Amino acid sequence: MLTSTNVPEDKRSPFLALGILSISFLISVSNAVSGTIPLMEKYFSDVSRANVELLVVVPTAGVLLGTVISGLVSNLLGKKYTVIAGLTISLIFGIIPAFFFSYPAILISRAMFGVGMGVFTPLSVSYITDLFPEDTRNRLLGWRNSIGSIGDAIMLFIAGFLINISWHTTYLVFLFLLVPIILVMLLVPKQYDNIVVEEGGEVVEEVAKAKPTTNGGVIQLAIIFLFVCLFYSAIGLKLASYMVNNHVGTAADATRIFGFLVLCSIVSGVAFEKIAKWFGKYTVAIAEIIVATTMIVMAFTESIPLLLVLVLVSGFCNGIVHPALTARMVHYSPKDSMNFTTSIIIIGINIGGLVAPYFFQFFGGMVGNAGPGNMILWSGLFFVLLAAYDLIVVKKDQLTI
C-alpha cells in the first residue's frame, strides 16, 4: 500500500546519487582475477584445468542464488541494510583466497562472493527506478553502466599490480568494496527504503509490505535481456578465434581491441539520456539494428582497424540497449515489486551469459558450421530479429522508450 508523503529536497542531491551509483561500481568485476588462472593451474597441479577455470565463473552461479533471495532479505532488513549486507558478504568472501589456499575453500568463497553480489545488485537498479523521476532516472541508468565500466577498468588495473606479488594477493583487490559500503552508509538515508516516485512525479511512501508479484511483461523483458546477452556474447567468445583462424591478427590483437570496449561503455552510458530523448521508443530497435550490421560485417572483415571500429560501434550500441531495456522495468513492474522485477531480469541476463558457449556449440552443429565467423554472422542475424520483435513490443505495449 502507498501513501503520499513529504520528502526532503536532498532526495535528489548529487550525494544521494553518488551513494546509489557506488553500488554499481563493482557489479562487473568478479572477473578482475581471471588473470590468476595460469598461476592457479600450476599451484593446483592435481586439479583439472576446467575445475580451475570454474573458480572464475562460479560467482555467476552464486549471483543467481543471491538474486533469488535478495527480495526476501530486503523485506527483512530494508534496502539500505540489504545493500550493505550484500557488499559485506562479497568483501569477506572475496578476499578469503588471499589467506586460505585450499581448492575447496576458494571454490566456496568464490560462490559466496557471487551470492553477495546477487543480493545487492537488484537494489542498484530499484533504488534508481523508485527514487527518481523519468529524466533523472534515464540519466542515472546510463551512468550506472558507465560506473560499472569504470570500476571494471580500475579493478583490473589494480589486480594487474597485485598479481605481480602472487596470485593470492590479487584477491585483495576486493577490499575496494569498502568504498561503496562507506558511501552507502553515509550518503543513502534509511528513510528512503520505502520511498517511490510515481510516473506523474508524485512522491509516495509504502506503509505496508505487499507480497511481490510479477507478470508476463516482466518475464518477456527478462527473456529479451537473455537473448541480447546471449547473441552479443558471440563477440567476446568468438572474435579472437576468428582473427587467429583467418590470420587477421593474434589473440593479443583481439585483447587490445577488447580493451577499448571499457572506454566505449563509459561513453555510451553518459550519452544514453540524450540518445533516448532523440530516438524515444525506437532507441532499442535502432541500436540493435546497428549491432546486427556491425556483427554481420565483422564476420567478413580481415582488417584489424576495421574490426576495431566495428567492435567499438557494436559495444557503444549494446551499451545503449541495456539501460534502455532497464528503463522499461518501470512500465512493466507491478507496484511494490521493483526489487523482485530486477531480480528476474538479472537472472535472465546471467542465464544468457552462462548458456552462450553451449548454445553456439549446439547451433553450430545444427547449421553444419560452428566456425567463429559463422557464429558471429548468425548472431548478427538474430539481432535483426530482436529489433523486429522490439518494434512489435513497442507498439503493443505502448512504450515510450
Residue 219, classified by CB atoms within 10 Å of its CB into exposed (0-12), middle (13-18) or buried (19+), is: middle
Domains identified in the chain and CATH numbers? 2-206 (1.20.1250.20), 216-397 (1.20.1250.20)
- What distances in angstroms separate CA 249 from CA 167, 243, 257, 300, 371, one per listed residue? 29, 5, 11, 14, 16
Contact 352, 233 (CB under 8 A): yes
| Element of type H or E holding 195 | strand 195-197
Residues forming a β-bridge with 204: 4, 196
Residues forming a β-bridge with 203: 197
What predicted TM-score, i.e. pTM, was given to this entire model?
0.82
In the numeric block, which cell numbers belong to residue 267?
A: 561513453
Closest CA to 123 of 367, 369, 343, 393: 343
Q: 238: how many CB neighbours lie within 10 A of its CB?
A: 26
Q: Could you read off the pLDDT tens digit of each residue along the chain, which spans 401 residues? A: 444 444 444 445 788 999 999 999 887 655 677 778 778 888 998 988 778 877 877 888 899 899 989 988 988 999 999 999 999 999 999 999 999 989 999 999 999 999 999 999 999 998 998 888 888 888 999 999 888 888 888 887 888 888 889 889 999 999 999 999 999 999 999 988 877 766 555 555 654 456 778 999 999 999 999 999 999 999 988 998 899 899 998 877 887 888 787 788 889 988 998 999 999 999 999 999 999 999 999 999 999 999 999 999 999 999 999 999 999 998 999 877 888 898 899 999 989 888 888 899 899 999 999 999 999 999 999 999 999 999 999 999 999 88
